[in-house]
Structure 1
Amino acid sequence: MDRGRGHRPRPSGVGLTGHPRTLHRQRCSSTSVAGLPSAALVAPGALPRGRGGSRRGLPGPIPGHCRPGKCQTRRRAGPQDAGGRRAQGGRRGVARRKAKGLAGTPHRRSPIMRGPLPLVLALVSLFVLCLLGPLQAAQPVERVVLHLKWTHAFQFAGYYAAQSLGYYREAGLDVDIREALPGTDVVQAVVADEGHYGIGTSSLLLARHAGHPVVALAVIFQHSPLVLVARSLFPGQTLHDLVGRRVMLEPQSEELLASLQKEGIAPGTLTLLDHSFDPQDLMEGMVDAMSAYTTNELYYFERAGFPYLLFSPRTQGIDFYGDTLFTSEQEIDRHPARVRAFRAASLKGWQYALSHPAQVIDMILARAPDSHERAFYEYEAHQTAPLIRPDLVEIGYMSPARWRHIADTYAEIGLLPPGLPLGGFLYNATPPNGLSGAWPTYSLGGAGLLALLVGTSLLRSRHRRHVARLNAELRDVHAALDESEGRFKVLSETTSVGLFVVRDGRLILVNPVLTTLTGFSREELLRMDPYTLVHPDDRGLVQARSQARGRGDPTPNRYEIRLLHANGSERWVELTAGQLSYGGSMATIGSLTDLTERRRTEERIRHMAQHDPLTGLPNRAQVSDRLHQALPRPGGEGPPLALLYIDLDRFKPINGTHGHAVGDRVLQEVGRRLRAVLRRSDLAGRIGGDEFVVLVLPGGDRAELRELCQRLRATIARPIEINGLTVSVTASVGIALCPEHGQDEVTLARAADLALYEAKRQGRDTERFYHPGIVRDLADIH
Structure 2
Amino acid sequence: MSPPRARFGFFLRFPLGAILIALCGWTAAAHALDAVTLQLKWSHAFQFAGYYAAKEKGYYREVGLDVAIHEARPGDDPVKNVLDGNAQYGVGNSSLLLARSSGQPVVVLAVLFQHSPVVLLVRREGSVQGIHYMAGKRLMIEPQSDELLAYLKQEGIPLAGITRVEHSFRPQDLIDGKADAISAYVTNEPYFLDRTGFEYHTYTPRSAGIDFYGDNLFTTEHELRKNPARVKAFREASLRGWQYAMAHPEEIADLILDKYSQQHPREFYLFEARRMEPLFRTDLVEIGYMNPGRWRHIADTYAQLGLLPENFVFDGFVYNAESERDLTWLYLAGIVLVIVSAVAFYIYRINRRLTLALITSKRDHELLRVSEERHRLLADNATDVIWTMNLDGQFTYVSPSVEKLRGYSSEEVMRQSMEQALTAASIPIAKEALENSIAAMVQGKPFVEFQGELEQPCKDGSTVWTEVSTSGMRNAAGEFFGILGVTRNITKRKQMEDQVRQLAFYDPLTKLPNRRLLNDRLTQAMAISKRGGCYAAVMFLDLDNFKPLNDKYGHAVGDLLLIETADRLKKCVRETDTVARFGGDEFVVLISELMEDRAESEALAVRIAEKVRSSLAKAYVLTVQHEDKADGIVEHQCTVSIGIALFISHDATEGDILRRADTAMYQAKEAGRNKICFYDADLLETGSL
Q: Name the TM tier (shorter chain).
A: 0.5 to 0.7
1:431-465 Cα distance to aligned partner (Å, 9 max, x none): 569414897699xxxxxxxxxx9999598499699
Q: What secondary structure sits across from 2:206 in the alignment?
A: helix
The code of the aligned residue for 1:522 comes to K
Q: CA deviation at 1:278?
A: 1.1
The answer to whether the 8 A contact 1:431-1:437 is kept is no
Q: 1:524 and 2:574 equivalent?
A: no
Q: CA deviation at 1:344?
A: 1.3
Q: CA deviation at 1:235?
A: 2.3
How big is the alpha-carbon RMSD for the aligned residues of Structure 1 and Structure 2? 4.9
The answer to whether the 8 A contact 2:256-2:262 is kept is no
The code of the aligned residue for 2:181 comes to A
Aligned with 2:113 (options 215, 221, 224):
221
Report what 1:613 is aligned to.
Answer: 663
Task: Name the CA distance, whole Å, in 2 between partners of 1:145 and 1:464.
Answer: 41
Aligned with 1:184 (options 56, 59, 76):
76
Task: Name the CA distance, whole Å, in 2 between partners of 1:469 and 1:292.
Answer: 55
The code of the aligned residue for 1:237 comes to Q
1:17-53 Cα distance to aligned partner (Å, 9 max, x none): xxxxxxxxxxxxxxxxxxxxxxxxxxxxxxxxxxxxx
The answer to whether the 8 A contact 2:39-2:87 is kept is no
Q: 1:231 and 2:123 equivalent?
A: yes
Q: CA deviation at 1:231?
A: 0.9
Aligned with 2:579 (options 568, 590, 596):
596
Q: 1:288 and 2:183 equivalent?
A: no
The answer to whether the 8 A contact 1:249-1:275 is kept is yes
Aligned with 1:423 (options 315, 319, 322):
315
Report what 1:69 is aligned to.
Answer: none
Report what 1:206 is aligned to.
Answer: 98
Describe the shift of the 1:187–1:167 C-alpha distance in structure 2 as closer, same or farther (beyond 3 A).
Answer: same
Task: Name the CA distance, whole Å, in 1 between partners of 2:88 and 2:412.
Answer: 50
Aligned with 2:152 (options 248, 260, 267):
260
Q: CA deviation at 1:130?
A: 9.5
Report what 1:399 is aligned to.
Answer: 291
Describe the shift of the 1:392–1:485 C-alpha distance in structure 2 as closer, same or farther (beyond 3 A).
Answer: farther
Report what 2:34 is aligned to.
Answer: 142
The code of the aligned residue for 2:410 comes to R
Q: TM-score, normalising length from structure 2?
A: 0.53
Describe the shift of the 1:484–1:597 C-alpha distance in structure 2 as closer, same or farther (beyond 3 A).
Answer: farther
Describe the shift of the 1:213–1:437 C-alpha distance in structure 2 as closer, same or farther (beyond 3 A).
Answer: farther
Describe the shift of the 1:485–1:375 C-alpha distance in structure 2 as closer, same or farther (beyond 3 A).
Answer: farther
Report what 1:380 is aligned to.
Answer: 272
Report what 1:773 is aligned to.
Answer: none
Task: Name the CA distance, whole Å, in 2 between partners of 1:248 and 1:398.
Answer: 31
Which deviates more from structure 2 when the two are superposed, residues 433-442 or residues 418-427?
Answer: 433-442
Matches within 5 A, 1:464-543: 474-475=409-410, 486=423, 522-525=494-497
Question: Looking at CA atoms only, which structure, 1 or 2, has the larger radius of gyration?
Answer: 1
Q: CA deviation at 1:129?
A: 10
Matches within 5 A, 1:446-465: 460=374
The answer to whether the 8 A contact 1:344-1:437 is kept is no
Matches within 5 A, 1:642-657: none
Q: What secondary structure sits across from 2:108 in the alignment?
A: strand
Report what 1:323 is aligned to.
Answer: 215
Q: Give the structure with the larger strand fraction.
A: 2
Describe the shift of the 1:330–1:614 C-alpha distance in structure 2 as closer, same or farther (beyond 3 A).
Answer: same
The answer to whether the 8 A contact 1:232-1:307 is kept is yes
1:281-306 Cα distance to aligned partner (Å, 9 max, x none): 11232211111111011112223332
Aligned with 1:359 (options 236, 251, 264):
251
Q: What secondary structure sits across from 1:398 in the alignment?
A: coil
Task: Name the CA distance, whole Å, in 1 between partners of 2:223 and 2:163.
Answer: 42
Task: Name the CA distance, whole Å, in 1 between partners of 2:330 and 2:128.
Answer: 54
The code of the aligned residue for 2:423 comes to G
Report what 1:151 is aligned to.
Answer: 43
Task: Name the CA distance, whole Å, in 2 between partners of 1:609 and 1:371.
Answer: 51
The code of the aligned residue for 2:305 comes to I
Q: 1:297 and 2:347 equivalent?
A: no
1:38-89 Cα distance to aligned partner (Å, 9 max, x none): xxxxxxxxxxxxxxxxxxxxxxxxxxxxxxxxxxxxxxxxxxxxxxxxxxxx
Task: Name the CA distance, whole Å, in 2 between partners of 1:465 and 1:276.
Answer: 62
The code of the aligned residue for 2:174 comes to L
The code of the aligned residue for 1:376 comes to F
The answer to whether the 8 A contact 2:400-2:410 is kept is no
Report what 2:227 is aligned to.
Answer: 335
Q: What secondary structure sits across from 1:596 in the alignment?
A: strand
The answer to whether the 8 A contact 2:100-2:314 is kept is no
The answer to whether the 8 A contact 1:247-1:289 is kept is yes
Q: What secondary structure sits across from 1:427 in the alignment?
A: coil
Describe the shift of the 1:482–1:302 C-alpha distance in structure 2 as closer, same or farther (beyond 3 A).
Answer: farther
Report what 1:667 is aligned to.
Answer: none
Q: CA deviation at 1:201?
A: 0.6
Task: Name the CA distance, whole Å, in 1 between partners of 2:28 and 2:331.
Answer: 15
Report what 2:203 is aligned to.
Answer: 311
Task: Name the CA distance, whole Å, in 2 between partners of 1:480 and 1:528.
Answer: 35
Describe the shift of the 1:482–1:158 C-alpha distance in structure 2 as closer, same or farther (beyond 3 A).
Answer: farther
The answer to whether the 8 A contact 2:579-2:590 is kept is no
Describe the shift of the 1:286–1:572 C-alpha distance in structure 2 as closer, same or farther (beyond 3 A).
Answer: same
Task: Name the CA distance, whole Å, in 2 between partners of 1:126 and 1:338.
Answer: 22
The code of the aligned residue for 2:156 comes to G
Q: TM-score, normalising length from structure 1?
A: 0.48
The answer to whether the 8 A contact 1:157-1:353 is kept is yes
Describe the shift of the 1:408–1:434 C-alpha distance in structure 2 as closer, same or farther (beyond 3 A).
Answer: same
Q: What secondary structure sits across from 2:94 in the alignment?
A: coil
The answer to whether the 8 A contact 1:225-1:387 is kept is yes
Count of paired positions: 433
Q: CA deviation at 1:369?
A: 4.6
User: Any stretches of 5+ residues in structure 2 without a counterpart?
Assistant: 1-15, 335-366, 382-398, 428-454, 467-491, 512-561, 582-586, 592-604, 614-640, 645-660, 676-682
Identity of aligned residues (%): 43
Q: What secondary structure sits across from 1:366 in the alignment?
A: helix
Q: CA deviation at 1:522?
A: 2.1
Describe the shift of the 1:414–1:142 C-alpha distance in structure 2 as closer, same or farther (beyond 3 A).
Answer: same
Q: CA deviation at 1:486?
A: 2.2
Task: Name the CA distance, whole Å, in 1 between partners of 2:499 and 2:328.
Answer: 20
The answer to whether the 8 A contact 1:573-1:593 is kept is no
Q: CA deviation at 1:392?
A: 0.6
Report what 1:246 is aligned to.
Answer: 138
